[in-house]
Amino acid sequence: MRSLLRSLLPFVIGVPVLLVVQEVMPPRYFLWVVAIGVNVVLAVSLNVVNGFTGQFSLGHAGFMAVGAYTAAKVSLVLGGVKIAMLPEAVSDQLAFALALAAGMGTAALAGFLVGMPSLRLRGDYLAIVTLGFGEIIRSVIENMTSLGEALGLQGLPKRTNVVWLGVSALATIVMARRLAVSTQGRALFAIREDEVAAEAMGVDTTGYKVRAFIISAAYAGLAGGLVAHAIQMVTPQMFTFIRSIEVVVIVVLGGLGSVTGSVISAVVLGVAIEKAREFEQFRMVVYALLLVVLMLLRPQGILGTRELWDLRFFRRVPRPRPLAVTPGGASPTEVRDEGGRGGQA
Amino acid sequence: MTELLQHLFNGLSLGTIYALVALGYTMVYGVLKLINFAHGDVYMVGAFAGYYLGSVLGTDRAPNLGKAALVTIGAMAICGALGFVIERFAYRPLRHRARLTALITAIGVSFLLEFGFQLNPILRAPIEFPPGPSPRFFPALVDLGAPFDLLGATVSRIDVVGFAVAILLMLGLQWIVYRTRFGVAMRAVSFDSQVAGLMGIPVNRIISGTFVLGSALAAAAGIINASARPRIEPLLGLMSGLKAFVAAVLGGIGSVPGAMVGGLTLGFVEEFVAGYTSSRYRDAIAFTVLIVVLLVRPDGLFGKGRVEKV
């Protein structure tokens, strides 16, 4: 009961706020809100794999593409269909919900298909294989006539709005936080800290990794569907390797394993980029510099594996420290490689 | 038959480039166990270094062999220096951290080069640097004349020269790795850097040397490739770099002959599949090869099996 309440409370508070924001927000901020909302969904979902589980995936844009194309296709097919006995607005929203759900479903399926073989690999090999799968997905889409080849699909209905974005972001965040405190989440953390030890303790490492991958892919698909219905088109060029790296930058900046960190850095980078529109050409250079400098100076990111409310600043009563080796657990970038031999990742 | 032969020659031309770039990946992986993501971009910088040196020396007006050699060696030196700087300032401070940290840094360095080179030119004279996003055309370094026919297939003369240079470089590398003190030290560091250090091998210097060597080979590959396919742009290294990495994995990462065989094999596979099916699947082919190799034989063709220790 309590956990149900915990899951529902953010929506109970959030949805009315979002409805108000929807009404008062000037339309010129719309694309900005889309960018931030979608980045929150992408970053938090990627954090489930890269942060919670410690597996480095570089193929998030591929799953996003699967979700976006599925949702777009469903929307185009359902375009003229009106559900009987319902007002048109409600029918449209239902169709959109169906499209997003379909996108999540196929993205999850893609996550399963990619995850099954690749999650046997570790560290940098996994990174490069997920990157490869992302590129293969894009390449296949680019060669499918029914998906418009390089031109993509155009003329989608504009369904994404502030409420949909906000609810999706909230759903992703709630999912990630509920996951983190669940048995499944504990297993993922165990895999991150030491895969061999986790396996020795009876954690079904492959199973948990694949499940984390599927969850993450599904939400990437959701982000894809939202983007598609915000700019009313999908093209293969929206889902390149560079898009995956952008999400990785957000996650690494916020702290691998920290949901609030991902949210903060998605918002901060979103605002910073909007403010620096005229410096568009410097955007990726800044991202790249940020990555290098961050790794040299603060490899755990802004928050490390902690959440915002774990910071001392937000604590009123001192709580006893958890009995962990390192406070809050070591993030994947913090674990030192003893002896520099690099035997295993 | 002619078509087959033509694809074979094209594959050979492409495969030599992959092989030269793959050597850099494999050597760095051997000593550091790091996928040097920026290596593909060093290859791109090599092509641009050749472009700039060529335009300064005026090879487009009067191409000759001396200038071509000068441009190639100059570009190799520039990229060697770049490799040294990347290792010294981006990777060395992270050497004993988690491997993921180094991987993220490598991606950062790679993107820094790719997008740094896409900025609009700041420096105007004597050269326009950075080159900006639009592609540029690499000047002909040597004037070799028209392509010739071999058993019915058309072979460009520059491909032959490029192939010869690549073979010479690989033989040179083979000699360095297996016949010199530096090579012995490099193999020792690759085997176990800690013990190598205890045996008096200057590990840092060897690792720097490995980066310089790999980057110089990438520069040579960049110039050979740009001479045959003169369109160069800052994102040139992204796909080629990843494919060369696939070649290194295919050959068995850490193995020098493996990188050569892997590069040539990948070149052939790509050319044949693209030639006989659809060239639009070109980029997907390499990754499919990678996935198949990692699933079927993760140690590659020449790799030694690794035992995981706790």
Selected residue of A133, A195, A285 to mutate for chain B interface (largest B Cβ count, 10 A): A285
Judged against a pLDDT cut of 90, whether residue B37 lies above it is answered with: no
Nearest CA in chain B to A193: B98
Selected residue of B99, B279, B293 to mutate for chain A interface (largest A Cβ count, 10 A): B99
DSSP B91: I
pLDDT of A14:
85
Q: In which residue are the tokens 């990188």 written? A: B259
Radius of gyration, CA atoms only, chain A: 20
Is residue A131 a contact partner of residue B291, using CB atoms and an 8 Å limit? no
A81 CA: distance to closest CA in chain B (Å): 36
Which residues have a Cβ under 8 Å from the Cβ of B116 and sit 6 or more positions away?
Answer: A285, A288, B130
Is residue B5 a contact partner of residue B181, using CB atoms and an 8 Å limit? no
Q: In which residue are the tokens 């990692």 written? A: B294
pLDDT of A331:
58
Contact B119 A142 (CB under 8 A): no
Q: Does B296 touch chain A (CB under 8 A)?
A: no
Judged against a pLDDT cut of 60, whether residue A238 lies above it is answered with: yes
Is residue B132 a contact partner of residue B140, using CB atoms and an 8 Å limit? no
Q: Tell me: the pLDDT tens digits for B253-292?
A: 888 888 889 999 999 999 888 888 777 778 888 888 888 8
What's the start-to-end Cα distance of chain B, in Å? 54
Judged against a pLDDT cut of 90, whether residue B74 lies above it is answered with: yes
Per CB-CB distance under 8 Å, the chain B contacts of A295 are 94, 101-102, 104-105, 108
Using CB atoms, pick whichever of B112, B194, B308 lies closest to residue A292.
B112
- Residue B231 three-state SS: strand
Judged against a pLDDT cut of 60, whether residue A339 lies above it is answered with: no
DSSP B278: -
Nearest Cα to A157, choosing from A62, A83, A266, A81? A81
Contact B284 A287 (CB under 8 A): no
Q: Does A125 touch chain B (CB under 8 A)?
A: yes
Regarding predicted confidence, which is higher, B105 or A91? Answer: B105
Per CB-CB distance under 8 Å, the chain B contacts of A292 are 90, 105, 108-109, 112
Nearest CA in chain B to A252: B104
- Residue B113 three-state SS: helix
Per CB-CB distance under 8 Å, the chain B contacts of A123 are 99-100, 103
Per CB-CB distance under 8 Å, the chain B contacts of A139 are 280-281, 283-284
Is residue B17 a contact partner of residue B224, using CB atoms and an 8 Å limit? yes
Q: Tell me: the pLDDT tens digits for B172-185?
A: 998 998 999 999 99
pLDDT of A48:
93
Per CB-CB distance under 8 Å, the chain A contacts of B294 are 118, 121, 125, 129
> Quick check: bond before B133 cis, omega within 30?
no
Q: Report the pLDDT averaged over residues B44-51.
A: 93
pLDDT of A342:
39
Torsional sign, CA B172, B173, B178, B179 = positive
Displacement of CA B27 from its chain's centroid (Å):
11
Nearest Cα to B87, choosing from B219, B243, B213? B213
- Which residues are bridge partners to B123 per DSSP? B129
Using CB atoms, pick whichever of A287, A333, A335 lies closest to residue B111.
A287
pTM attached to this predicted model: 0.86
Q: Does A319 touch chain B (CB under 8 A)?
A: no
Mark which residues 254-313 of A lie under 8 Å from B by CB: 281-282, 284-285, 287-292, 295-296, 299
Judged against a pLDDT cut of 50, whether residue B14 lies above it is answered with: yes
Regarding predicted confidence, which is higher, B248 or B122? Answer: B248
Report the 10 Å Cβ neighbour count for A280: 9
Torsional sign, CA A296, A298, A301, A305 = positive
Q: Does A248 touch chain B (CB under 8 A)?
A: yes
Q: Tell me: the pLDDT tens digits for B167-219?
A: 898 899 989 989 999 999 999 998 888 899 999 999 999 999 999 999 999 99
The identity of residue B219, as a single letter, is A
What value does the mean pLDDT of chain B take?
A: 86
Cα A273–Cα A293–Cα A246 angle in degrees, nearest 5: 40
Q: Report the pLDDT averaged over residues A35-61.
A: 92
Contact A123 B99 (CB under 8 A): yes
Q: Is B119 exposed, middle or buried (0-12, 13-18, 19+ CB in 10 A)?
A: middle
- Which residues are bridge partners to B153 per DSSP? B150
Per CB-CB distance under 8 Å, the chain B contacts of A113 are none
- Residue B303 three-state SS: coil
Contact A284 B114 (CB under 8 A): yes
Q: How does strand B148-150 pair with strand B136-137? A: unpaired
Nearest Cα to A324, choosing from A172, A193, A185? A193
The identity of residue B260, as a single letter, is M
pLDDT of A345:
37
Q: In which residue are the tokens 């709005």 written? A: A161
Which residues have a Cβ under 8 Å from the Cβ of A241 and sit 6 or more positions away?
Answer: A58, A61, A131, A134, A135, B238
Torsional sign, CA B230, B231, B234, B240 = negative
Q: Does B167 touch chain A (CB under 8 A)?
A: no
Output the six-digit token pair for B169.
């470089």
Q: Tell me: the pLDDT tens digits for A175-199?
A: 999 999 899 999 999 998 888 899 8
Q: Could you give the CA distance from residue B196 to residue B194 in angstroms, rounded to a whole number?
A: 5
Domain spans of chain B? 19-122+139-237
Q: Tell me: the pLDDT tens digits for A62-96?
A: 999 999 999 999 988 887 666 666 777 788 888 88
Q: Report the pLDDT averaged over residues A217-239.
A: 92
Q: Report the pLDDT averaged over residues A229-245.
A: 89
Mark which residues 178-197 of B lie under 8 Å from A by CB: 192-194
Out of A49-63, A74-88, B150-164, B240-254, which region has the weakest mean confidence (pLDDT)?
A74-88
Report the 10 Å Cβ neighbour count for B225: 27
Selected residue of B41, B85, B104 to mutate for chain A interface (largest A Cβ count, 10 A): B104
Q: Tell me: the pLDDT tens digits for B131-156?
A: 888 888 888 877 777 777 777 788 88
3-state helix/strand/coil string of chain A: CHHHHHHHHHHHHHHHHHHHHHHHCCHHHHHHHHHHHHHHHHHHHHHHHHHHCCCCCCCHHHHHHHHHHHHHHHHHHHCCCCCCCCCHHHHHHHHHHHHHHHHHHHHHHHHHHHHHHHCCCCHHHHHHHHHHHHHHHHHHHHCCHHHCHHHCECCCCCCCCHHHHHHHHHHHHHHHHHHHCCHHHHHHHHHHHCHHHHHHCCCCHHHHHHHHHHHHHHHHHHHHHHHHHHHCCECHHHHCHHHHHHHHHHHHHHCCCCHHHHHHHHHHHHHHHHHCHHHHHHHHHHHHHHHHHHHHHCCCCCCCCCCHHHCHHHCCCCCCCCCCCCCCCCCCCCCCCHHHCCCCC
Is residue A161 a contact partner of residue A23, using CB atoms and an 8 Å limit? no
Confidence of residue A300 (pLDDT cuts 50, 70, 90): confident
Q: Could you give the CA distance from residue A137 to residue B198 in angstroms, rounded to a whole number?
A: 48
Q: Report the pLDDT averaged over residues A122-129.
A: 80
Q: Could you give the CA distance from residue A213 to residue A116 in angstroms, rounded to a whole number?
A: 9
Q: Report the pLDDT averaged over residues A330-334.
A: 59
Using CB atoms, pick whichever of A120, A143, A299 lies closest to residue B101.
A299
Q: Report the pLDDT averaged over residues B102-128.
A: 85
Q: Report the pLDDT averaged over residues B112-122.
A: 87
Q: Could you give the CA distance from residue A291 to residue B105 in angstroms, rounded to a whole number?
A: 6
Report the 10 Å Cβ neighbour count for A148: 19
Q: Could you give the CA distance from residue B306 to residue B299 in angstroms, rounded to a whole number?
A: 8
pLDDT of B309:
56
Output the six-digit token pair for A76.
């185009």
Confidence of residue A227 (pLDDT cuts 50, 70, 90): very high
pLDDT of A129:
86
3-state helix/strand/coil string of A45-114: HHHHHHHHCCCCCCCHHHHHHHHHHHHHHHHHHHCCCCCCCCCHHHHHHHHHHHHHHHHHHHHHHHHHHH
Mark which residues 17-36 of B lie under 8 Å from A by CB: 32-35
Confidence of residue B60 (pLDDT cuts 50, 70, 90): low
Confidence of residue A340 (pLDDT cuts 50, 70, 90): very low
Nearest CA in chain B to A248: B104
pLDDT of A36:
92
- Which residues are bridge partners to B231 per DSSP? B137
Judged against a pLDDT cut of 70, whether residue A319 lies above it is answered with: no
| Contacts A–B by Cβ distance under 8 A | 150
